[in-house]
Structure 1
């Protein structure tokens, strides 16, 4: 699970750097510096992914990534409310609304992958 999350974050982070124009329409008008913020979010995703892979930084990276996902939620909401689409993603509006309830699941996945949520207890054989 951790590797899948890290791979997705690296892919998304690199994409923020290679094609930032795809993400600029998602930026709400009340935020300044749209291009630097897109590049910064890409950097956060890459750094967070690397942090998840290193045992020493895993817990901190998970906590910061969870905070990051909370912080980018307004951009996802802005996208859905304003009928904006992103090149390379489905163009139907239901997709952007469907993403919103998955944000808490991504946060839980991140916390779990970082060891901040307990793993399910395994059954102990009766002695």
Structure 2
């Protein structure tokens, strides 16, 4: 079953879906920055710059994963980017998964995002990087 999942994550449809996913996420940093800014831990400086760089990075890597010559490097970039986002996920849990006037979810959802969703996205990027289609 794991091999089947790996094969699907390497499929051309999965790679295209990943491109769409990161393009939407990247552009959303510019369309809706007020969603992302409170998620950046206060110990980081220049929240606006971090938000813009995150959006640009997601867009560039989302495009890069689409094309075979850059796919492997884009997948590594996505994995590095996802690892760089971990402090944001931890911070969200520390503030009880709720931002005043913004995103509020049950605490288990913050943990689910960090422990399940984030590793799944890392696996998806890893497998997509091995795709030749």
Q: Which category of TM-score, normalised to the shorter sequence, fits these structures?
A: 0.7 to 0.9
What is the CA–CA distance in structure 2 between the aligned matches of 1:90 and 1:107, rounded to whole Å?
24
TM-score (norm 2): 0.80
What is the CA–CA distance in structure 1 between the aligned matches of 2:129 and 2:77, rounded to whole Å?
10
Q: Which has the higher helix share?
A: 2
What is the CA–CA distance in structure 1 between the aligned matches of 2:98 and 2:73, rounded to whole Å?
32
Residue among 34, 58, 67 paired with 2:80: 67
What is the CA–CA distance in structure 2 between the aligned matches of 1:56 and 1:84, rounded to whole Å?
39
TM-score (norm 1): 0.83
Unpaired stretches in structure 1, ≥5 consecutive residues: 117-127
Would the alpha carbon gap of residues 66 and 25 (structure 1) be closer, same or farther in structure 2, given more than 3 Å must change?
Answer: same
For residues 76-115 of structure 1, the aligned pairs below 5 Å read 76-85=89-98, 91-101=105-115, 102-115=117-130
2:25 aligned with 1:12, yes or no? yes
What is the CA–CA distance in structure 1 between the aligned matches of 2:91 and 2:45, rounded to whole Å?
15
Do the aligned partners of 2:89 and 2:114 also contact (CA within 8 Å) in 1? Answer: yes
Which one scores higher on RCO, CA 8 angstroms, separation ≥ 6? Answer: 2
Secondary structure of the 1:85 match is coil
The number of equivalent residue pairs is 116
Do the aligned partners of 1:26 and 1:84 also contact (CA within 8 Å) in 2? Answer: no
Q: Partner residue of 1:38? A: 51
